[in-house]
A = this chain, B = another copy of it.
Amino acid sequence: MKKSDLFPLVFVDVALFSIVSDCLRVLLVRRAQDPNRRGWALPGGILKPEMDADLKSAATRVLRTKISVEVPHLEEVRTFSGVDRDPRGWSISVLFCALLPYDKVNALVKDKVEALEWAAADNPGHRMAFDHGEQLAVALHMLRDRVRVTRPVLPLHLMPERFTLTALQKTCEAILGKEIDKAAFRRRLKDSTDLVELPGELQRGSHAPAQLFRARDGFEFAV
């Protein structure tokens, strides 16, 4: 009788999203060990009760130790459980959704894992290990819902510290996978307390200068 017949294995997995060239991407890692060695998967790891204060802390630790990244936002999506989803035995994976500002994407150290890839979120292009394909789909669905159905909720955790309204709109479009009307988008944001205008700070280029904004202090994506 395996231990996991009495105690389930508990994992945390993270769907870490960011924006690369105006496209929503998710971070995939290539597994270095069996089971599913060399298979593509969401970054994750086993819960260590002696180290982790709770499941969210475990997810934070996994991101920090495995791919050396600190994320500003981490939120539970749901669990995946059962006897069949992992060959090691009865297991639970608690899935988290994380957002990384797109100016931090290149900060990932590439030598810690044998392979990292920022895959297109809606079409990663790899068959994925375990049930991580479903996990990705569920996390993506939650992210889209956040931006769509509860309308004033903004994906500010994906933005760099200072950003223009156009950049924010591009990010929302990348998440939703469709274009948004500029006037309507800006009209909704007029009354948002989550955005703070930075007076005098403009982004220049070969066009009219654009007002820069930052996220309100203490802004949280959560509902």
Are A10 and B53 touching (Cβ within 8 A)? no
Are A5 and B47 touching (Cβ within 8 A)? no
Task: Give the distance in Å from the alpha carbon of A223 to the alpha carbon of B150 in the complex.
Answer: 13
Within 8 A of B (CB), among A1-42: 3-8, 10
Within 8 A of B (CB), among A70-106: 76, 78-79, 81-83, 89-90, 92, 94
Within 8 A of B (CB), among A128-145: 145
Q: Does A54 contact B (CB under 8 A)?
A: yes
List chain A positions with a Cβ less than 8 A from chain B.
3-8, 10, 47, 49-50, 53-56, 76, 78-79, 81-83, 89-90, 92, 94, 145, 149-150, 223
A50 touches which one: B5, B47, B82 (CB < 8 A)? B5
A149: chain B residues within 8 A (beta carbon): 149-150
Are B81 and A54 touching (Cβ within 8 A)? yes
Task: Give the distance in Å from the alpha carbon of A82 to the alpha carbon of B94 in the complex.
Answer: 14
A8 touches which one: B47, B78, B79, B83 (CB < 8 A)? B47
A223 touches which one: B5, B54, B145 (CB < 8 A)? B145
A79: chain B residues within 8 A (beta carbon): 55, 76, 79, 94
Task: Give the distance in Å from the alpha carbon of A10 to the alpha carbon of B90 in the complex.
Answer: 12
A92: chain B residues within 8 A (beta carbon): 10, 55, 92
Are B145 and A49 touching (Cβ within 8 A)? no
Known A8-B10, A49-B7, A49-B8; contact A54-B82, beta-carbon cutoff 8 A = yes
Known A78-B76, A82-B54; contact A49-B10, beta-carbon cutoff 8 A = no
18 interchain pairs, CB-CB under 8 A: A3-B7, A5-B50, A7-B7, A7-B10, A8-B49, A49-B83, A49-B89, A54-B81, A54-B82, A55-B92, A56-B81, A76-B78, A76-B79, A78-B78, A79-B79, A145-B223, A149-B149, A149-B150
Known A76-B79, A150-B149, A223-B145; contact A50-B6, beta-carbon cutoff 8 A = yes
